[in-house]
Amino acid sequence: MRERIGIWERHGDRYVRPPPLPFGDHHAAREEIPAAKPPGGRRVCLFGESAAAGYLYAPHLTPARVLEHQLRAAGGLEWEVVDLARTNETLAGLEATFAAARRLAPDVAVIFTGNNWNLLETSEVSPYHPTAGGRQEYGATLSEGGVMGVAELAARRRMQRAAAALARIADRAAGLRVVLVVPEVNLADWEARQPPPWLPAGGNRRWHGIYGAAVGALGAGDAPEARRLAEQLLDLDDGVTPAPFRLVAAAGGGAVAADAEVAADHYASMCFLGAPRATPLDREVQRRAAAVHGFGLVDLPSVFRRVEAMPGRRLFLDYCHLTAAGMRLAMAAVAGEILGRPPPDGPGPTVAAAVAATARLGAAIHTAHRLAGVTPGSAGIVAHWLGAALDVDAGVETAMREVAAARAAPLPEVLTGAQVRNLDSPYRLGFQHGWRFPHLDGPLLAAIDRVLASRELAPLDLPPVGGELVRYGLWEPVARFYPEVMDFADTTPHAMLRCPWPTTAFGFVAGDEPEAVLSVTARAVHSAGTLRVEVGGRAAGTLALAAGWRTGRWRLPVRRGVNQLTLRWPELAPARPGGGAELEDAAGRLARGLPADIHPVFGEVYSVRVTSRT
């Protein structure tokens, strides 16, 4: 067994990694790392997660490369930065790589981590956990402390694990200088929206009503009203969901409210897909560890907020990954900590326009996958990144068309001609750009079409994509991942889509025919009343729901290209007597070792079928 550092394996006087995979992999692209430092040189090892690995820009531009550039620009010593950051890094992986990297005799270790902890470190705290013991623990905690009790359990466990890991790293450091980089996250442009869990006394029905009104007020520019309504939401759900904090932040509450939103995103680790972002608690653990263990500290929230009160798209591509400007700012702070003085101002390492354009396209794709359709302002963010990509290099239009063609194909992207063309393109997309995505990418395709039209470029030319949309035509990412969000291989999917939001949207691509036939088979679960169906924002039909399955069929006008089909569910049914019993029911199932939903489901959709004729 050869010595290894990450995926680099010892061969003589150097460590060598396998060739990078065609769609990229989780590690830095550097093929060889000499075991010994150059004579008189200084070596920094950089550890961390995707933000530290330069996600969306890698391998062309990375924090390691920026840091090395800045250190060298300071003159004097010959600095080398070894990039050991890894996308999807965990605490266990970090510890192992840190220990192995001592063989490289670094002078400084920089650890830029924390964004992944809320998603990867306590996934066992879930009502869908694959073991009976895990479900029972969840149920017992739910019974005793409610949903906030479960959230606190996950947070407490995460903090303990992180603190212990950092303590072990301190033990292994043994004289090595360690610098912790506390992550900042995108506060202005990102949103953590989760549906509320069961609330007492019919609170869910009121919550959704108020939320809709608050979003409307915000859209109408009435920030005070939006904030007033958001405060009502906080009263209703006790701050267990992040959405009200986002409303407060958007209505003038600023970074404090945005931080509170991030803090409330713990719910993501239980039911729904969230985005990896360091929470205020995660940051605090790092600050405390730095003080206890004598680590150097670069506090990016402080650094970034000196530049922008609410850091957003200038510094971030998405939820936590840095723009080139963000990398420069962050690494200048790190270089300053290492050197004991600020590095000289100057341009960072340059990248080709195609690389910048591809990173921006990746930002648009990520935003569409995680936010579009879910959050009111996300369509604008997607359009921003698409436009920014075209601004820096108009040639990226070809990659946009390749993504669209691959998504609309009746094949996995890897089998499409569009993918083959993109592989040989300067705008080459990899897994980090969201290249693999088993659904029609409705929001992204629609945004690309709009941006192309706004620049008087030819519209997308896509083959019609209709048929059974439940299979792959979803518009809403949150609904798509529920409840298969957890990485539990044994999870049995449902034959129908369960809908935890008042609206559920699908996408389809129409050809030249002006009309299509739509049929929907659905049933109510916790709602009662009539389902309203819209296409392109226009009413298309209604369906009286019941506990049993009902099917509606309509002929409706469609536009050539991407269409959005929206189901608007009726309100949740009034509370049962003795409200709060739903959570007790959930706890009861969990105690029996069964998975359980801890939130209401408006309805279930068995089929949404769009065909060109009856």
Partner 1 sequence: MVIVGVSAFFHEAAAAVLVDGALVAASAEERFSRIKHDPRLPVQAYRFCLEAAGVGPDGVDAVAFYESPAKKVDRQRWAGSSPPPGQPDALDPGRPERMIREHLGHAGPILTFDHHLSHAASAYHFSGFDDAAVLTVDGVGEWATTGYHRAVGEHIETIDEVQFPHSLGLLYAAVTSYLGFRVNDGEYKVMGLAPYGEPVLADRVRRLVRSTGGAGFELDMRYFDFVGGEQMYSAAFVDLLGRPPRRPGEAVDGFWADVAASTQLVLEELLLEKVAHLAGLVDSPNLCLAGGVALNCVANGRIRREGPFADVFVPPPAGDDGGSLGAAALAHVALTGERPERRRLAGAAFGPGYGSGEVTAALRSAGLPAEPAGPDTVADRLAAGQVVGWFDGAMEIGPRALGHRSILADPRDAAMRERLNAQVKRREAFRPFAPSVVAGAASAHLDLAWPSPFMLETCQVVSPLPLPAVTHVDGSCRPQTVDPDAEPRFAALLAAFAARTGCPVLLNTSLNVAGEPIACSPADALRTMAVAGLDALVLEGVLVEAGALPARLPELLAAWEPAPRRAVAEGRPGHLYSFV
Under the rule (CB under 8 A), what is the footprint of partner 1?
Answer: 21-23, 130-133, 135, 405-406, 408-412, 414-421, 423, 436, 463, 468, 488-496, 521, 523, 547-551, 592-594, 604, 606-607
Joined together, the tokens standing for residue 377 give 């302002």
Q: How far is the CB of 412 from partner 1 (least distance, A)?
A: 6
Contact assessment for residue 303 and residue 296, using Cβ atoms and an 8 Å cutoff: no
Question: Closest Cα partner for 49 from 270, 264, 277, 362?
Answer: 277
Residue 538, H or E segment: strand 538-544
Cα–Cα distance measured from residue 573 to residue 526, given in angstroms and rounded to the nearest whole number: 6
Cα–Cα distance measured from residue 125 to residue 138, given in angstroms and rounded to the nearest whole number: 6
Q: 35: Cβ–Cβ under 8 A, 6 or more apart, which residues?
A: 10, 13, 14, 15, 103, 104
Contact assessment for residue 296 and residue 180, using Cβ atoms and an 8 Å cutoff: yes
Q: How far is the CB of 23 from partner 1 (least distance, A)?
A: 5
Q: How far is the CB of 40 from partner 1 (least distance, A)?
A: 40
Q: Which is nearer to partner 1, 168 or 472 (CB)?
A: 472
Cα–Cα distance measured from residue 115 to residue 122, given in angstroms and rounded to the nearest whole number: 13
**Rounded (10°) CA dihedral 349, 353, 359, 362:** 180
**Rounded (10°) CA dihedral 149, 151, 152, 154:** 130
Q: How far is the CB of 554 from partner 1 (least distance, A)?
A: 16
Cα–Cα distance measured from residue 581 to residue 588, given in angstroms and rounded to the nearest whole number: 10
Joined together, the tokens standing for residue 246 give 């986002």
For residue 47, the 8-state DSSP code is: E
Q: How far is the CB of 410 from partner 1 (least distance, A)?
A: 5
Q: Which is nearer to partner 1, 133 or 145 (CB)?
A: 133
Q: Which is nearer to partner 1, 188 or 409 (CB)?
A: 409
Phi, psi torsion values for 446, nearest 5 degrees: -65, -40
Q: How far is the CB of 266 from partner 1 (least distance, A)?
A: 24
DSSP-based three-state secondary structure for 465: strand
**Rounded (10°) CA dihedral 488, 407, 22, 491:** 10
Joined together, the tokens standing for residue 565 give 């089909």
Q: Which is nearer to partner 1, 224 or 412 (CB)?
A: 412
Q: Which is nearer to partner 1, 19 or 577 (CB)?
A: 19
Contact assessment for residue 216 and residue 222, using Cβ atoms and an 8 Å cutoff: no
Q: How far is the CB of 138 from partner 1 (least distance, A)?
A: 12
Q: Which is nearer to partner 1, 405 or 535 (CB)?
A: 405
Residue type, 106: P
Contact assessment for residue 183 and residue 209, using Cβ atoms and an 8 Å cutoff: no
Contact assessment for residue 587 and residue 139, using Cβ atoms and an 8 Å cutoff: yes
Question: Closest Cα partner for 209 from 190, 185, 236?
Answer: 236
Q: How far is the CB of 445 from partner 1 (least distance, A)?
A: 15
Q: How far is CA 513 from CA 443, 464, 510, in A?
A: 22, 10, 7
DSSP-based three-state secondary structure for 580: coil
Q: How far is the CB of 408 from partner 1 (least distance, A)?
A: 8
Q: Which is nearer to partner 1, 24 or 362 (CB)?
A: 24
Q: Which is nearer to partner 1, 294 or 417 (CB)?
A: 417
Question: Closest Cα partner for 102 from 43, 150, 50, 157?
Answer: 43
Cα–Cα distance measured from residue 32 to residue 45, given in angstroms and rounded to the nearest whole number: 14
* Cα 350–chain centre separation: 27
Q: Which is nearer to partner 1, 130 or 202 (CB)?
A: 130
Q: How far is the CB of 25 from partner 1 (least distance, A)?
A: 8
Q: How far is the CB of 419 from partner 1 (least distance, A)?
A: 8
Q: How far is the CB of 470 from partner 1 (least distance, A)?
A: 8
Cα–Cα distance measured from residue 6 to residue 45, given in angstroms and rounded to the nearest whole number: 12
Q: How far is the CB of 536 from partner 1 (least distance, A)?
A: 24
Q: Which is nearer to partner 1, 451 or 567 (CB)?
A: 567
Q: Which is nearer to partner 1, 310 or 496 (CB)?
A: 496
Q: How far is CA 441 from CA 130, 366, 406, 558, in A?
A: 30, 11, 10, 18
Q: Which is nearer to partner 1, 136 or 564 (CB)?
A: 136
Phi, psi torsion values for 506, nearest 5 degrees: -130, 165
Q: Which is nearer to partner 1, 254 or 467 (CB)?
A: 467
Residue 111, H or E segment: strand 108-112
Q: Which is nearer to partner 1, 104 or 418 (CB)?
A: 418
Q: How far is the CB of 180 from partner 1 (least distance, A)?
A: 32
Q: How far is the CB of 264 from partner 1 (least distance, A)?
A: 29
Cα–Cα distance measured from residue 444 to residue 606, given in angstroms and rounded to the nearest whole number: 25
Q: Which is nearer to partner 1, 103 or 498 (CB)?
A: 498
